[in-house]
Structure 1
Amino acid sequence: MSRNLFLIGTDTDVGKTYIAGLILKKLQEGGLHAAYYKAAMSGNARTADGALIPGDALYVQQVSGIPQPLKSMCPYVYERAVSPHLAARLEGHPVDMARVLEGYHALCRAYDCVTLEGSGGILCPIRQDEQEIWLPDIVRACGAGCLLVADAGLGTINAVGLTAFYLKANAIPLKGIVLNHFVPGDVMHEDNRNMCAAIAQCPVVACVKDGDASLDLSLDGLLSLYEPAKEAAS
């Protein structure tokens, strides 16, 4: 049975995709048949012939070395660097939950582990028109626990705490925290690691320094964060 884990962030640009690349790399090097999935991706460039390039997915593919086809990694790709709900309003092609889940369940049938990545922070609007979809709706629909990526610096205690409180209030499991841009020996970063674990009541499973090419977490430790994937409704 496939297992899954959903990467979320305290904010946009905290390094979710960077961490996703390191996670997929460890799974790939550990002999797992691993896949990456992101429901909606905005802020993407175009090829010379005008086709959109799913930048985050391409980065993860290149860093991790996974052979997964790029086209299976993200069903909704937008050019504008704005929230997915606004990108869809400006460009068309709004997110359809059924299509998101169809792509996700196809990966679950084909891969050992599916690592999902959210857009922005936990309260990212994915669609806002006659339908309303928020990122937590996708997390719940996939039946995944979350790994929270946060910056190691000033302000992260509040950001981690608020995200953890929201997840708990909405019965979404928080499996662990990764602190990015961590500087070992920095008194604030070291204290933030302890405070984030305490306020979230969840372990900081890894601290990632700028430029790290691998995740300082054992393969068994990483796999312990993954949950069995829910089967698609028949």
Structure 2
Amino acid sequence: MRGLFITATDTDIGKTMITGAIAAAMKARGIHVGVFKPLASGAIRNEAGFLLAEDATFLMKAAGIGEELRQEVNAVALEPALTPAVAAKISNVCIDIPKILTDLKQAMKKYEFVLVEGVGGLISPLWEDYLLADMMKELNFPALLVSKPRLGAINHTVLSYSYAMQHKIRLDGVVINRFEASRAGVLEESNIHYIEKITNLPVVGRFPLLKQANSLNVEDLAGLAELTLNIDKIIAIGESYNE
């Protein structure tokens, strides 16, 4: 099995879009890809009263995974749009991290390649005394860090990288999301230059800003991923996973 963990420098950076784009590209290449969003907040209740995480819905669509596997893809969906530890307390939900990890590891075995998307950034609290970084360390997948093209990207990216290195967490590449190539100038290019120089991590993609992302079909998403992400390099990173 091969796999990647996708995290970001902050919330609302676009982890789900990047994870979905990679999944769509792999699926188009004939790779049996699994997608997982173990915990999600900001879920919406459907007409039947069930909480559905839109991020999980997007990932399932991108990977061609049916609704019957939603619980496997997204073990915990929380309604408050807050970090999981806080959202769970407000909702009177107990997050059983060991069970989530056990079930996740079992479910992953059926796929040729797996993509696991985090929530927020590396230091997002998932439960009492348990951060996203702890989950990343336990799974020990190669990881991609999604960053932004804006002012502050160097600082946020390097701080995330430094925390990961300090705590012996794998980071293997960076993806710049919402990159507007037609408007890119000194700021955007210097961000990439210094991120690569300081962290020694490759920037493996410059994914564009999509104003109507939800209307994009899976085939177009896969094509866009092939154009803007180094899918060959991303797959190679995932192949370095050692169980």
TM over 0.5: yes
RMSD over aligned Cα, in angstroms? 1.6
Give the letter aligned to residue 117 of structure 1. Answer: E
Q: 1:154 is matched with which residue?
A: 151
Amino acid at match of 1:72: E
Unaligned runs of 5+ in 2: 214-220
Aligned to 2:87: 87
Q: Paired residue for 1:50?
A: 49
> 1:21: how far off?
0.6
Moved more, 154-163 or 134-143: 134-143
How far off its partner does 1:112 sit?
0.8
Q: State the match for 1:71 in structure 2.
A: 71
Report if the CA contact (8 A) 1:33-1:113 is conserved: yes
Secondary structure, counterpart of 1:95 in structure 2: coil
Please report how far the alpha carbon of residue 95 of structure 1 lies from its aligned counterpart in structure 2 after TM superposition.
1.9
Supply the AA of the counterpart residue of 1:188: L
Q: Which residue of 1 aligns with 2:136?
A: 139
Which runs of no fewer than 5 residues in structure 1 stay unpaired?
Answer: none
Cα deviation, 1:44-80, whole Å, max 9, x if unaligned, reads 1001121001211101122343458222111111000
The answer to whether the Cα contact below 8 Å between 2:4 and 2:141 also exists between their aligned partners in 1 is yes
Contact 1:24/1:60 (8 A) holds in 2: yes
How far off is 1:221 after superposition?
A: 1.6
**1:196 match:** 195
Q: Secondary structure at the match of 2:52?
A: coil
**Structure 2 contact 175–206 (Cα < 8 Å) conserved:** yes
**2:241 matched to which residue of 1?**
228
Higher helix share: 2
Larger proportion of strand: 1
2:218 matched to which residue of 1?
A: none
Cα shift readout 1:73-100 (whole Å, capped 9, x = no counterpart): 1111100001100011011222212211
- The CA deviation at 1:218 is 4.4
Aligned mates of 1:145, 1:92 — CA distance in 2? 33
* Percent of aligned pairs with the same amino acid: 29
Secondary structure of the 2:109 match is helix
Tell me the amino acid that sits aligned with residue 92 of structure 1: N
* Matches of 1:4 and 1:40, distance apart in 2: 18
Contact 2:10–2:121 (8 Å) recurs in 1: yes
The question of 1:209 aligning with 2:222 is answered no
Aligned AA for 1:179? I
TM-score by length of 2: 0.88
Query: Over residues 150-177 of structure 1, what are the superposed CA-to-partner deviations in whole Å (9 max), with x where a residue is unaligned?
Result: 1111110000010011111111121100
Contact 1:4/1:229 (<8 A) preserved: no
Farther-moved stretch of structure 1 (68-77 vs 149-158): 68-77
Which of the residues 173, 176, 201 maps onto 1:176? 173
Contact 2:41–2:79 (Cα < 8 Å) also in 1: yes
Query: Which residue identity does 2:233 align to in structure 1?
Result: G
Q: Counterparts in 2 of 1:11-50, with a 5 A limit? A: 11-50=10-49
**C-alpha displacement of 1:182:** 0.9
State the aligned residue count.
226
**Deviation (angstroms), 1:192:** 0.8
Match of 1:167 in 2: 164
CA contact (8 A) 2:143 2:171 kept: yes
User: What amino acid does structure 2 have at the position aligned with 1:228?
Assistant: Y
